[in-house]
Amino acid sequence: MMVFFIEADESNLACLQGNTSLCDNTSGTQGDWITGTPYPMFLTCAAPSGNGNTVNSNYNIAYFPTVYTVCPDRTIYESGQLTTAQHYTFANSHCAPLTTTVNDVKAFSCTVPNIIYCNGSFTPSFMLQNYGTANLTSCNITVKLDGNIVQQVPWTGNLAMYDAATLTLNQISGLTNGNHTLEVITDNPNGLTDEGIANNSVSKTVTVMTVPDAIPITEDFSGSVFPPAQCDIIDVSNDGYNWVHSSTAGHTAGSMYIEFYSIMSGKKDDFEMPLLDFTGMSNPTLTFWVAHRRYSASYTDKLEVDVSTDCGTTWTQKWMKSGATLATNASYYTSEYLNPAAGDWRQETVDLSAYQNTSNIMIRFRATSGYGNNAFVDDINVSNVSSFNNTSLSKNVSIYPNPAQDKLFITLPEKATIQLVDLMGKVIYTTQVENNNDIVSTSSFANGTYFVRVITDNETITQKIVINH
């Protein structure tokens, strides 16, 4: 067993030596880590002095020291802060014994998109590993989709024991809407019978979405599966962090949140919604609830909503807030923000009318870390909102105040039916008005965006309002 130390916060050598005057870390030195240390140490300060910030992000380091056990076959486990004897025990219980097979090729891993939008085509990548004692110079690779062979690829190279090679397979196209199973199988190492057939295949489930969903849709993150069906999360910066699910902290039952508290500044993570169809919709609108508290004024986290009409090739920003504007509670929070209070939640509305009557719409939430504190998103709704049209009735209707607290005053030119409608299109309040005035009590309705619908014998108008107690 070999131990080595990787310094992971981009500090210079003086910080590790406990030299306060020469340490370049704004947080200062944490003391002398070098004197008496018998194992190799590596810096991660900026090149050429060190390795840059890739170690911290790639190894998902959230506390110090973070200790990993790397097995001979390249399997990695986070073993934690153990004694020497405990590390030996951990390695013996987690790492496979050294291979004794001579000719053995392993299907190590396969990488595919979680969801494939629009065209039903994707290009998988695959890693194979020599799990035998003899050098691996050739093997066969078979690719199956839903049990049917779609590719057979001969591989040649030269891999020593436990060495691995990554290769890009041919594009697979023509997938229909729904879930599919991709399986990659290796065999015939060095032209001989494989002595370890138990490690010869790896499989992945691929979800294809070529048929968009009609709106309205809603996501309240109350289910146990995350990401929800037909949604996807993407670790854009490939740093090991991403959107995660909370079953306890939410505007309603649950939520999703991004761990800005642990993510290095500048790293990005996406949450992609299902492919949507706005055909026949004149005023599509997105609403969601957000909760965020800043760590301090020195750290600025950002959240944005982007839209794509070309299946994710290009994106247009439609909403963005960062720093103090994103914060839903003005006070700073210097511990990790994990349980937003009820008053921390704020509803946001995004106008998507530019995409009216358009199919194959993609919407994503992109989080860009400022290494500040966590942000939560809940109760996402996409629906079609009727606009307040310029008719004779609309010119003579007055609905106020907006936002409303406990009461909403409505002045009419004639008798009408008044309805209050939520974002899912559900009528939650109805009254008949015979005279020219009405007062609607809003004290029992939750904070959020609603629509007042005024219906007469001749026409119907709708106006968006906000209730904020």
What pLDDT does 56 receive? 63
Residue 402 has pLDDT above 80, yes or no: yes
Residue 133 has pLDDT above 90, yes or no: yes
Residue 119 has pLDDT above 50, yes or no: yes
- Tokens linked to 429: 């309040």
- Please tell me whether the overall predicted TM-score, pTM, comes out greater than 0.75 for this model: no
- In which residue are the tokens 């340490």 written? 23
Q: Quick one: 83 exposed, middle or buried, by C-beta within 10 A (0-12, 13-18, 19+)?
A: exposed
Residue 15 has pLDDT above 90, yes or no: no
Per-residue pLDDT band at 255 (split at 50, 70, 90): very high
What mean pLDDT do residues 270-295 have? 93
DSSP for 108-158, please give it.
Answer: EEEE--SEEESS--B--EEEEEE-SSSPEEEEEEEEEETTEEEEEEEEEEE
Residue 48 has pLDDT above 60, yes or no: no
Q: What's the longest Cα–Cα distance across the chain?
A: 93
CATH placement of domain 213-384: 2.60.120.200
Question: Looking at this protein, which amino acid is placed at residue 140?
Answer: N
Instruction: Please state which of the ranges 26-35, 218-227, 324-333, 360-369 shows the lowest mean pLDDT.
Output: 26-35
What pLDDT does 349 receive? 87
Examine domains 213-384 and 392-467 and report if their fold is the same: no
Q: Please give, one letter per residue, the 3-state secondary structure of 287-347.
A: EEEEEEECCCCCCCCEEEEEEECCCCCCCEEEEEEEHHHHCCECCCCCCCCCCCCHHHCEE
Question: Looking at this protein, which amino acid is placed at residue 424?
Answer: M
Ordered by start, the domain boundaries in the chain are 105-209, 213-384, 392-467
CATH 2.60.40.3080 fits domain 392-467: yes
- Of residues 190 and 62, the one with the higher pLDDT is 190
Give yes or no for a cis peptide into 216 (omega within 30° of 0): yes
**Superfamily of the domain at 105-209:** Immunoglobulins (2.60.40.10)
What pLDDT does 45 receive? 60
Handedness of CA 26, 30, 35, 39 (dihedral sign): negative
